[in-house]
């Protein structure tokens, strides 16, 4: 929380922390009176320290983060989703986990304030994936969540659902093409690894980096989206 406040609201954080610092300094002066030059030195050290803290927070905000599974990534996902200003894209096999993770209440709140949703899930009869005895169960789950997403739509809400028939390669939540939560459909053959790993990446708003990210992640979503079947209720 402190890290995010310094990064996102540096001026406000500076003012609040400066008031606290002055209070501490006044308390120290009351107990141990000191010369003015030491107060000036203390403020200089404080200023340099705050600048370094701000730079550090900006740097780590650009780095990729790893979560062992979806549950450990929940807090981070919700924090970024609630900050959405334009569009949320979701690609998943059934979307069951993501729907439950975000919650219907939050999804409805986002839709009501104008956030556009693009939902991309497997076709219920996807021959490229459903080739085992769980096919009927998966088909039922997919149909259930297609309906749940569809039921959230209205004249004033922007939500579009499409289904793909290709092999699921990755799953992701993409927020405003800036915040990316990415996982793969990897199922370990040995008794190690976790198929629910999530990687978080924030793309620098600089156009150069955004263009690279588009080519690497967002364009993959857009490509599958353009080759998918639009769902009509």
Per-residue pLDDT of the chain (233 residues; tens, 9 = 90+): 566 665 566 677 777 777 887 777 777 778 777 777 777 777 777 777 777 776 666 655 555 677 877 778 889 999 999 999 999 999 999 999 899 999 999 999 999 999 999 999 999 888 777 655 566 778 889 999 999 999 998 888 999 999 998 888 788 999 998 889 988 776 555 554 455 788 888 776 555 555 555 556 778 888 889 888 887 65
- Give residue 211's pLDDT: 55
Q: What angle do CA 233, 80, 55 make, to 5 degrees?
A: 155
Spatial contact of 197 and 70, defined as CB atoms under 8 Å apart = no
13 token code pair: 């954080």
228 token code pair: 């998918």
Residue 99 CA, distance from chain mean position? 14
Beta-ladder partners of 157: 154
Spatial contact of 150 and 208, defined as CB atoms under 8 Å apart = no
- Indicate the domain borders of the chain: 2-62, 65-230
Which H or E element spans position 98?
helix 96-102
Rg of the Cα atoms in the chain: 23
β-pairing verdict for 159-164 and 229-230: antiparallel
Superfamily of domain 65-230 in the CATH hierarchy: Endonuclease Chain A (3.30.870.10)
In angstroms, what CA-CA distances link 200 with 48, 67, 124, 168?
Answer: 30, 8, 28, 19
3-state secondary structure of 78: helix
């Amino acid at each position: 929380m402190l890290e995010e406040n310094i990064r996102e609201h540096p001026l406000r954080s500076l003012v609040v922390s400066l008031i606290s610092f002055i209070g501490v300094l006044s308390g120290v002066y009351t107990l141990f009176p000191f010369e003015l030059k030491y107060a000036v030195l203390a403020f200089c050290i404080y200023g340099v320290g705050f600048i370094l803290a701000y730079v550090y927070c900006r740097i780590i905000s650009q780095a990729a983060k790893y979560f062992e599974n979806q549950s450990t990534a929940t807090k981070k996902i919700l924090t970024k989703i609630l900050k959405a200003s334009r569009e949320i894209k979701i690609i998943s096999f059934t979307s069951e986990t993501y729907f439950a993770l975000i919650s219907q209440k939050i999804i409805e709140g986002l839709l009501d304030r104008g956030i556009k949703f693009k939902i991309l899930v497997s076709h219920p009869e996807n021959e490229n994936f459903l080739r085992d005895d769980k096919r009927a169960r998966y088909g039922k789950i997919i149909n259930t969540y297609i309906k749940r997403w569809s039921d959230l739509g209205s004249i004033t809400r922007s939500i579009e659902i499409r289904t793909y028939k290709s092999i699921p390669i990755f799953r992701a939540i993409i927020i405003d093409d800036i915040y990316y939560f990415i996982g793969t459909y990897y199922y370990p053959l040995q008794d190690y690894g976790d198929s629910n790993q999530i990687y978080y990446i924030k793309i620098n708003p600089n156009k150069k980096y955004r263009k690279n990210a588009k080519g690497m992640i967002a364009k993959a979503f857009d490509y599958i989206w353009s080759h998918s079947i639009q769902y009509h209720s």
